Homo-oligomer: A and B are copies of this chain.
Amino acid sequence: MELTKNESQFVLHWGEMGSRWGVNRTVAQIHALLFVMARPMNADEIVETLNVARSNVSNSIKELQSWQLVKLTHVMGDRRDHFETSGDVWELFRIIVRGRKQREIDPTINVLRELTAAKDFGKESAAFQERVGASLEFLEVLTAWSDEMMRLSPPTLVKILKMGASVQGLVRGAKK
């Protein structure tokens, strides 16, 4: 399985970006590959195309499945597992946001809550108490908002985003 020049550029760049995030390169590349091929692929095809070890593909796919970014499918008359990913970038976005929130934001909120609830918290410096409180509130507002937004359909979401800062006018009205 040979990628075109453009396709491999896409896959390679996606891999790079993946590493910037916490995602390792192979994982990101496999996801990109499934995205560009837009069809179910089996593990060996992925091995051939990306030139990585079979075991690496296995582990990477397991991770992608845990993120729910890749799902297992089967092809008629083929015993092997095949994998595919959604072609809807908005859906992918939603999945990634949800996952990152769970893995990163939620634990942080918990820590901040524990801190404010600790019985010796009142003895801390005023600045510290205040800043922890502000951080917690910040994360709560942000996640509440993102939860709501992520519940909307992609088309609705796009429309809201395209309105952009113009909603600011409404806020003024709401303020009085």
- A158 nearest CB across to chain B (Å): 6
Residues of A within 8 A of B (CB): 4-7, 9-10, 13, 17, 20-22, 35-39, 87-90, 93, 103-104, 108, 111, 114-115, 118, 120-121, 124-125, 127-128, 130-132, 134-135, 138, 141-142, 144-145, 148-149, 151-152, 156, 158-165, 167-168, 170-171, 174-175
The count of identical subunits is 2
Extra inter-chain contacts (18) besides given A156-B168, A163-B170, CB under 8 Å: A6-B128, A7-B128, A9-B114, A9-B115, A10-B132, A20-B22, A21-B22, A87-B130, A89-B135, A89-B138, A148-B164, A152-B165, A159-B171, A159-B174, A160-B167, A163-B167, A167-B170, A170-B170
Interface on chain A toward B: helix, strand, loop, or mixed SS?
Answer: helix
Q: How far is the CA of A169 from the CA of B81 in the complex (A)?
A: 44
**A89-B134, A115-B10, A161-B141 known; A36-B128 Cβ under 8 A:** yes
- Pair A87/B127 contact, Cβ less than 8 Å: yes
Q: How far is the CA of A125 from the CA of B134 in the complex (A)?
A: 50
Q: How far is the CA of A7 from the CA of B120 in the complex (A)?
A: 11
- Pair B120/A38 contact, Cβ less than 8 Å: no
- Pair B156/A141 contact, Cβ less than 8 Å: no
- A18 nearest CB across to chain B (Å): 11
Q: How far is the CA of A131 from the CA of B86 in the complex (A)?
A: 10
